[in-house]
A and B are shown apart, each in its own frame.
Chain A
Amino acid sequence: MSVNANDIFIVGAARTEFGRFDGEDNELAETAVRGALADCGLVWSDIEFAVGGTNGETKPDNLVSRLGLTGLPFVTVKNGCATGAVALMTARNGLIAEDLNVACVVGYDNHARGAFNVSPARYGLGDWYGATGMMVTTSYFALKIARYLHEHGISQRTLGYASAKAFDYAQEHPYAWRRKPVSVDEAMDADMINDPLTRFMFCAPDAGAVSLVLARGSKAYDLCETPIRLASVALRGRRPGSFEVFSPWLSPGDRTSPSIDAAKAAFDLAGMTPADVQVAQLQDTDSGAEVIHLGETGLLAHGEQEAAYRNGEFEIDGRLPLNTDGGLLANGEPVGASGLRQVHEIVRQLQGRADGKQVPGAPRIGFTHVYGAPGISACTVLISEGAQ
């Protein structure tokens, strides 16, 4: 097999357990980086280019004070839920543009308990919006899925299937936060937070870090037996007609979505279609988000979700194993780490060394998708070319 000089591969991957963390944010990040380096037999001084992302207050580029003052260029990114994908994209671009061979990316966060607190002014909104109780992320998710279920004739119980699936995967995943199984009935009967979403249908902010080592061209096969090719990474923002958080108004007519655009771009760049995907990660900030994103990314036709969950299509031996580490529902959302967690899980699945349940039959093609405020989405296509 020939390797294109500018092909970018993931050769090392590591993550911390997600959940509550009492130490410093940088400790988490350092643990992940050292894990990723060990995974491919490198040391920090081998890294030629680094990118770090967090949505907290610490400075990722100051990680060099723990990892080593090697003088390397270290770029910091901060793009909400897309932080991980933007870090990957930046590292890829850095390797190609600077004619370098090895890069490291790290994403981490250590959020306080409870829903994110946001100020209206940060989103260009008047104080009235927060004061009257509309600046609430859970109500946004509820309003969005309520409309989606209505438009596509999907039952509320579908949301229960999504939750039960997530916690079922998580109970066997050593790094997931919430590993206690939840049945469909338990998910449906739990306290209502925002109709139609119950307590078991939302993820919560928590702590965690993920790091990946990237290599360019044939160097990848020197460092790793089964490097995973980053076939594409695409980032898109919202267009008129999208339905985003903290929107006092929506335009009537056809709905658009940055997820639709980012997924299409990622598939096109990789020369793939949604039908090629053998293991996937979708942003499941709430159960409804997973249902919507199945349709928006093209992995399923709108309205097919309910039957697909009922038929077990997203289970480990199903047609499309989905969020096989428990997704955000079971891992929580340390924003800066979440997108790289998805990539980490897909890499491990494609290498046949999943931390939790392993997709059978040696899957070759994986897909990841993140989505978040203020209307951004990023997707990747990851391909195993096999051992060389």
Chain B
Amino acid sequence: MNIPVGIEVVDSTLFSSVDPVVLAGSMCEACGAHVFPAMDSCPTCSSLDVTKVSLPTEGTVWSWTTQHFAPKPPFRTDEFAPFSIGYVDLGPVIVEGWLVGKTEWTIGEQVSLVLAKAWTHEGAPVFTFGFEAVT
């Protein structure tokens, strides 16, 4: 994957592109199951014939919660504030990730993929993926 200079991410294997941001999953050639992050075998049918694919970047909130207390390490943050986590239905797969920009959500709400700052490392932001409401 090509990471543009100056953008640091929590784990480069999660992305097929960082700018614009696109998540990398894998698809089973035998049964069609999609998973995220990419795996080299299929947990549905155990086939080894899997291909890396870019996942859709738009979806709907499938479920959500807001984390009101700071998780224990290995959670990392500059300063804790309550944040939302959700499962987002992208069509071929439902992906878990941050829901950014607010802390109250509605199941079925439209969201799209963004980069979100996870923490600061040696003065530079480190990004993870998240979903924000489509306005």
Contact B66 A194 (CB under 8 A): yes
Selected contact of B64 from candidates A120, A128, A143, CB within 8 Å = A143
The interface residues of chain A lying within 8 Å CB-to-CB of B14 are: 126, 128
Inter-chain contacts of B120 with A (CB < 8 A): none
Contact with B along A179-216 (1 / 0, CB 8 A): 00000000000011111100000000000000000000
Q: Which of A29-37, A129-137, A264-272, A298-306 contacts B (4 or more CB under 8 A)?
A: A129-137
Chain B residues within 8 Å of A194, by CB = 65-68
A65 at interface, CB cutoff 8 A: no
A248 close to B37 (CB less than 8 A): yes
Q: A93 vs B37: C-alpha distance in the bound complex, in angstroms?
A: 40
CA distance A61 to B98 in the complex (A): 45
Q: Check if B75 sits within 8 Å of A132, measured CB to CB.
A: yes
Give the Cβ gap from B35 to chain A, nearest Cβ, in Å.
5
In the complex, what residue of chain A is closest to B77 when comparing beta carbons? Answer: A133
Contact A192 B68 (CB under 8 A): yes
| B11 touches A (CB below 8 Å) | yes
- B11 close to A147 (CB less than 8 A): no
Question: Looking across the interface, which residue of chain A has its beta carbon closest to that of B91?
Answer: A252
* Chain B contacts for A248, CB-based, 8 A: 36-37, 95-96
CA–CA, A139 to B65, complex, Å?
Answer: 7
The CA-CA distance from A147 to B106 in the complex, in Å, is 11
Residue pair B63, A144 in contact (C-beta under 8 Å): yes
Residue B102 is within 8 A (CB to CB) of chain A in the complex: no
Quote the shortest CB–CB distance from A353 to chain B (angstroms). 41
Report whether B118 and A132 are in contact in the complex, using a CB–CB cutoff of 8 Å: yes
Q: Which of B53-74 contact A (CB under 8 A)?
A: 62-69, 71-74
Q: Does B87 contact A (CB under 8 A)?
A: yes
Among A142-157, those with CB < 8 Å from B are: 142-144, 146-147, 150
Minimum distance in angstroms from B2 CB to a CB of chain A: 19
A251 touches B65 (CB 8 A): no
Within 8 Å CB of B13, what residues of A? 126
Report the Cα distance A186→B103, complex, angstroms: 23
Residues of chain B lying within 8 A (CB to CB) of residue A144 = 63
Cβ of B33 within 8 Å of any chain A Cβ, yes or no, is yes
B132 lies within 8 A of chain A by Cβ: no
Q: Are B67 and A143 in contact (CB under 8 A)?
A: no
Q: How far apart sit A132 and B69, CA to CA, in the bound complex (Å)?
A: 14
A134-B94 in contact (CB<8A) = no
* Cα distance A112–B53 in the bound complex, in angstroms: 43
A191 to chain B: which residues have CB within 8 Å? 68
Name the contact of B63 in the complex, choosing from A135, A147, A249 (C-beta under 8 A).
A147
A134 partner residues in chain B, CB cutoff 8 A? 85, 96-97
Contact between B63 and A146, CB atoms less than 8 A apart: yes
Q: How far is the CA of A193 from the CA of B86 in the complex (A)?
A: 15
Query: A251's contact among B11, B33, B37, B119, by CB below 8 Å, is which?
Result: B33
Contact with A along B1-31 (1 / 0, CB 8 A): 0000000001101100000000001000000
Tell me the smallest distance from the CB of A241 to a CB of chain B, in Å.
9
User: Nearest residue in A to B94 (C-beta to C-beta)?
Assistant: A250
Shortest CB distance B130–A (Å): 9
Assess the B11–A143 pair: CB atoms within 8 A: no
> Are A146 and B107 in contact (CB-based, < 8 A)?
yes
* Interchain CA distance A193-B13 in the complex, whole Å: 31
Whether A143 and B37, one on each chain, are in contact in the complex, defined by CB atoms closer than 8 angstroms, is: no
A132 B33 Cβ-Cβ under 8 A: no
* B43 in contact (CB, < 8 A): yes
* Residues of B close to A147: CB separation below 8 A: 62-63, 87, 107
How far does the alpha carbon of A248 sit from the alpha carbon of B37 in the complex, in Å?
7
In the assembled complex, A222 has its CB within 8 A of some CB on chain B: no
Any chain A CB within 8 A of the CB of B44?
yes
Query: Is the CB–CB distance between A130 and B68 below 8 Å?
Result: no
CA distance A249 to B33 in the complex (A): 11
The distance in angstroms between the C-alpha atoms of A134 and B83, with both chains bound, is 11
In the complex where A128-B14, A249-B96 touch, is A143 in contact with B74 (Cβ < 8 A)?
no
A117: interface (CB < 8 Å) = yes
Given the complex, which residues of A lie within 8 Å of B91, measured CB to CB? 252
Which of B10, B35, B94 is within 8 Å of A132, CB to CB?
B10
Q: Interface residues, chain A, CB within 8 Å of chain B?
A: 114-115, 117, 119-120, 126-128, 130-136, 139, 142-144, 146-147, 150, 191-196, 240, 247-252
Task: Show 16 residue pairs from A and B whose CB-CB distance is below 8 angstroms, ordered by the A residue.
Answer: A119-B74, A133-B67, A133-B83, A136-B75, A139-B67, A142-B65, A191-B68, A193-B68, A240-B33, A247-B96, A248-B36, A248-B95, A249-B34, A249-B93, A250-B93, A251-B94
Given A131-B10, A252-B89, A252-B92: 15 more A-B contacts, CB < 8 Å: A114-B72, A115-B72, A126-B11, A132-B76, A133-B83, A143-B87, A144-B63, A147-B62, A147-B63, A193-B68, A240-B44, A247-B96, A248-B37, A249-B35, A250-B93
